[in-house]
Chain A
Amino acid sequence: MKKISNQEYKQLYEQKKPKEKIFLNCVKAFVVGGIICMIGQGINDILVKVMDISKENAASYTSIILVFIAALLTGLGVYDEIGKFAGAGSIVPITGFANSVISPAMEFKKEGMIFGTSAKIFTLAGPVIVFGLLSTWICSFIYYLYRVIAL
């Protein structure tokens, strides 16, 4: 075969690659993501206004309830269908985080409760918590130094 450089080949296949319908995908992500957030707001409002729970606790309860709903939908095999349609619309909300915890836990069930479900539960979500804590630690450390110096 005639020599073709990696660059030339990349140009060729990028040009032939099937096109992604980005605009349509964004509309779907917008609508589904927006709806999930509205559900969150609804739960929060019910907790605060009807059940008279403090604002801080209501925020935690909202997360827990959304995670529960996502867990149930993942178990029933509905969440991956939503994800197929909505893309980032169902990945970015906390329900997507829950889905990324629960789906490997279910997937590796056959490998046993310890080396399967429990060991694999954070294969996808582990990095999220690591990076979340790491960046929080760095930012809070700066904030702490600022407080020590300023006061």
Chain B
Amino acid sequence: MFKVYLSVFIVGGLLCVIGQILLNKTTLKPANILVVYITAGVILSFVGLYEKLVNIGYAGATVPLSGFGYALYKGSKEAIINDGLLGIFTGGLTGTAGGIAAAIIFGFLVALMFNAKTKK
């Protein structure tokens, strides 16, 4: 149990450190970094490496946005196995539907309830 959480912490932390180095050392803005992570997640899942990282880091690898890419590709792969060609189109969003729908719905509701405040 303790060992699982330790590896979650280390893998998740290290993935964020890579993002921080990109943020400080390059001209990438936060939105660019999210794009880099999701794309990297998809490609690493395609070559089979991300699966290994998930087996080591659990949520440490699935919670970062690269894990979202992993879920996209995994969903797509499963759909191809079940539905063939159609799966290329339907699988990705099926795998990530929960997260995306939650972001839209909670985003809209929160925007109705709260106002943006000036940064401190």
Name A residues whose Cβ lies closer than 8 Å to a Cβ of B.
20, 22, 25-26, 29-38, 40-41, 44, 59-64, 66-68, 71-72, 74-77, 80-81, 84, 86-89, 91-94, 96-98, 100-103, 105-107, 109, 117-118, 121, 124-125, 127-129, 131-133, 135-137, 139-144, 147
Whether B35 contacts A93 by the Cβ 8 Å rule is no
The smallest beta-carbon distance between A55 and chain B, in angstroms, is 11
> Are B63 and A30 closer than 8 Å at their CB atoms?
no
In the complex, what's the smallest C-beta–C-beta distance from A108 to chain B, in angstroms?
A: 8
Q: Nearest chain A CB to B75's CB is how many angstroms away?
A: 8
- Are A131 and B67 CB-contacts (below 8 A) given A26-B20, A29-B17, A137-B89? no
Instruction: Give the contacts of B89-120 with A (CB-CB under 8 A).
Output: 89, 91-93, 96-100, 102-104, 106-117, 119-120
- B residues near A, CB below 8 A? 4-5, 8-25, 30-31, 33-35, 37-39, 41-43, 45-46, 57-60, 62-69, 71-73, 76-77, 80-81, 84-85, 87-89, 91-93, 96-100, 102-104, 106-117, 119-120
Docked-complex contact B23 and A61, CB < 8 angstroms: no
Is there an interface contact between B116 and A109, defined as CB atoms closer than 8 Å? yes
With A63-B98, A131-B38 already in contact, the answer to whether A40 and B92 are too (CB < 8 A) is no
Given contacts A29-B13, A106-B114, 7 further A-B contacts (CB under 8 A): A37-B64, A59-B62, A63-B96, A67-B99, A94-B67, A96-B30, A143-B76
Chosen A-B contacts, 16 in total, with CB atoms closer than 8 Å, are A25-B20, A29-B19, A29-B20, A37-B60, A41-B4, A44-B58, A62-B62, A77-B114, A92-B19, A92-B65, A94-B68, A97-B103, A105-B108, A124-B31, A133-B93, A143-B80
Give CA–CA (A92, B48) in the complex, Å.
21
- A77, A96, A102, A139: which contacts B65 (Cβ < 8 A)? A96
Q: In the bound complex, what is the Cα–Cα distance between A59 and B5 (angstroms)?
A: 16
Contacts of B85 in A (CB 8 A): 144
| Selected contact of A34 from candidates B16, B23, B31, B73, CB within 8 Å | B16
Q: Is the CB of A94 within 8 A of B46?
A: no
By Cβ-Cβ distance, the 4 closest A-B pairs, closest first, are A33-B16, A37-B12, A88-B19, A34-B13
Q: How far is the CA of A81 from the CA of B118 in the complex (A)?
A: 11
Interface centre among A33, A44, A67, A92 (most CB of B within 10 A): A92
Cβ of B64 and Cβ of A92 under 8 Å apart? yes
CB pair B16–A29 under 8 Å, yes or no, is: yes
Given A30-B13, A133-B72, residue A102 in contact with residue B64 (CB < 8 A): no
B residues in contact with A129, CB < 8 Å: 100
